[in-house]
Structure 1
Amino acid sequence: MDPARGLGETARGGRPSWWRRPWVIPLVAVVLAFLVYSLPPYLTLDPEKSAVPLREGTVLHYPLLVLHIATGTVAMLTMCLQLWPWLRRRHPRVHRVSGRVHVIAGAVPGALLALVLVPYAFPGQPVGAVGNTLSSLLWLAAVVAGVRAARRRRFAEHRRWMVYGFALMMNIVWGRVIPFLALIPGVEISDQFVKEWSGWLGTAVNLLVAHWWLSRASKRAVAPAPAGDQVSSAVGVR
Structure 2
Amino acid sequence: MSKTVRHRWWWTLWSLVAASAVGIGVFSISVYITGDPDRTPIPLDPDVAAHYVSILVHALPSSLALLIRPFQFVTRLRTRHPRLHRVAGRVSWCASRPERSSP
TM-score normalised by structure 1 residue count: 0.37
Shift of 1:55: 1.6
User: RMSD in angstroms over aligned alpha carbons?
Assistant: 2.5
* Separation (CA, whole Å) in 2 of partners of 1:74 and 1:37: 11
| Cross-structure match for 1:101 | 91
Paired position in structure 1 for 2:64: 74
Q: Post-superposition, which runs of at least 4 consecutive aligned residues in structure 1 deviate over 4 A?
A: none
What amino acid maps onto 1:23 in structure 2? L
Higher relative contact order (CA 8 A, sep 6+): 2
Matches of 1:69 and 1:99 in 2, distance apart? Answer: 18
Mark the structure with the bigger radius of gyration: 1
Q: Say whether residues 1:43 and 2:33 are aligned partners.
A: yes
| Aligned mates of 2:79, 2:13 — CA distance in 1 | 17
**1:23, 1:86 → 2: CA distance?**
17
Gaps of 5+ in 2: none
Q: Which residue of 2 aligns with 1:29?
A: 19
Contact kept? 2:32, 2:60, Cα under 8 Å: no
1:123-162 superposed matches below 5 A = none
Aligned length: 99
Q: Tell whether the 8 Å contact from 2:31 to 2:39 is kept in structure 1 after alignment.
A: yes
Q: Displacement of 1:100 after TM fit?
A: 0.8
What is the TM-score normalised by the length of structure 2?
A: 0.76
Aligned residue number for residue 51 of structure 2: 61
By how many angstroms is 1:44 displaced?
A: 2.7
The structure in which a higher percent of residues are helix is: 2
Name the SS for the 2:101 alignment partner. helix
Which consecutive unaligned segments of at least 5 residues does structure 1 have? 1-8, 11-15, 116-238
